[in-house]
Amino acid sequence: VAAVPSSGEQVRGAPAPHLVFVPSAGMGHIQPFCRFITALANMGVEISVVTALPTVTEAEADHSAGLFAAFPAIRRIDFNLLPLDDATVAETDPFFLRWEALRRSAHLLGPLIAGAAPRASAIVTDVTLASHVIPVAKNELQIPCHILFISCTTMLSFLAYFPAYLDSANADHLVGDVDVPGIGRVPVDYPPQLLRDPDSLFTKQFIDNGREIARADGLLVNTFDALEPEVLAALRGGKVVPGFPPVYAVGLLNLMSTTTAARGDKVVEPVHGASPIIGWLGEQPARSVVYVAFGSRIAAALEQIREIGAGLEASGCRFLWVVKTTVVDRQDTAELGDVVGNGFLGRVQGRGLVTKEWVDQEAVLRHPAVGLFISHSGWNSVTESATHGVPILAWPMLGDQRLIATVVRSGGFGLWMEHWTWEKEESIVTGAEIAEKVKEVMGDEAISARVAEVREEAIKAVAPGGSTHRSIQQFLSTLN
Ligand code: UDP
Ligand code: G50
């Protein structure tokens, strides 16, 4: 991939800008931050990263340690979080709790960043922290603040419009379909369902962040112009929120960092040769393997896990299945054989590989043996799949995943099984239905052709002169 601009390209003649990154928690947030930082570091930008330790999960710790090891010039600014009070600790989601702890400690960032040398040109933070970090940057430090948005532009538009929706509906939570100007009607069950609960921590953060992003200096979105053209145009044209800040489409970020390369390209081959999973994939025919994984964030119900197993077995296809039974990887002590059920592993031996370990998902999706991805449609997963030309069978669980599934569907590079849910016991998706759908999509040439096209468009976007390349140059040109 001729994706990465040559070192120092945008800083010729002027001192390099110094960006201070303030990332949030969860692999879906950390991963794109590391990728964007890698891309900018390769372009000669000076970078500091505010780091709160310990991380929620081991995967996050490994990932951020990997970044500092690969780029010794990137400075780490240690961030000691204030403890949360008891009332807040009633919330059980470990990631939402961490977001809250980061938000409530954000006022400590002022002195930390003021002391950075050279002087910080701007802050780049995560959307989950926006309403607390933007005021620190703009009021206290008087430097610009940008948001690196880790989900799709459809989600960004929804977030940006949500406060206006609440005002117009005279409500303090999601009460019905939402007509997002310039985008269209969003059915009530598509946005994060927690927004139906006015008392949830998530809802409070979401509303505050939605209001505050209008004051950001720019939104850097992990997408590219040809992937979500209409939504980007509506947002940029001020149709969603009048006077909205500039929106820079800077993705897809997995193509922007030099530690990854698209399938089929010879430029960079990461060192995963020793991995038994990649070894096994190497023995399978091209496009024959179904990759099944539902992200880093959620555990599925046991009964549904068993049906997925039955479906994969009945499909007759080869498969690689990542089974996750806990929310936080440090706590996963379940025996794999017990989880997937009696005799399953023996019956599928050779044809299917099942693991509960963290896998290098990009390396899997890049592998020519993989022909389909059954995914919870987290935005990182969807964009990784698209860049490697792997069709997606979207099975969203929660949060932003349904809105992301609409992007998969309208983009034509996968299918969304809209009636496949995870919520109720009566809605368990049967193995028979899963097997049927897998066989159908594995043979669907229209989807394969479309995903190959999206991949080409993505590669074009990040190449010199492409839309992403230009967006990043534009963003950097605003810094001094
Ligand atoms: N991931 C991975 N190995 C795993 C699980 C996840 O490498 O076993 C990576 C995946 O490639 C993606 C990120 O973790 O980059 C998960 O982000 P996504 O937005 O897809 O979903 P989330 O986990 O936030 O729900
Ligand atoms: C993680 C998650 C649920 C969820 C989202 C996650 C998003 C992303 C956008 O990233 O929707 C977003 C989240 C929080 C916020 C503003 C925007 O305050 O587990 O829905």
Per-residue pLDDT at 54 = 86
Ligand 2 centroid–CA 337 distance in Å is: 33
Q: Which two tokens stand for residue 413?
A: 């590079």
Active site residue 126: yes
Per-residue pLDDT at 357 = 85
Per-residue pLDDT at 332 = 67
Ligand 1 centroid–CA 136 distance in Å is: 30
Per-residue pLDDT at 328 = 62
Ligand number nearest to the C-alpha of 298? 1
pLDDT digits (tens, 9 = 90+) for 68-101: 999 999 999 999 999 988 777 778 889 999 999 9
317 DSSP assignment: -
Ligand 1 centroid–CA 180 distance in Å is: 29
Pocket test for ligand 2, best of 56, 151, 407 (most atoms within 8 A of CB): 151
Q: Assess: ipTM above 0.90.
A: yes
Distance CA 154, CA 441 (A): 25
Q: Which residues in the chain land under pLDDT 70?
A: 1-13, 258-274, 297, 327-333, 424-426
Per-residue pLDDT at 365 = 97
Q: What is the pTM of this model?
A: 0.93
Q: What is the DSSP string of 180-239?
A: ETTTEEE-TTSS-GGGG-TTSHHHHHHHHHHHHGGGSSEEEESS-TTTSHHHHHHHHTTS
What is the tally of helices (H) and strands (E) in the chain?
20, 15
Per-residue pLDDT at 415 = 96
pLDDT digits (tens, 9 = 90+) for 33-55: 999 999 999 999 999 999 998 88
List, in order, residues 6 or more apart from 28 with CB less than 8 Å away: 150, 295, 296, 297, 378, 379, 380
**Residue nearest (by alpha carbon) to ligand 1 atom 3:** 359
Percent of the chain as helix, strand, coil, to the nearest 5: 45, 15, 40
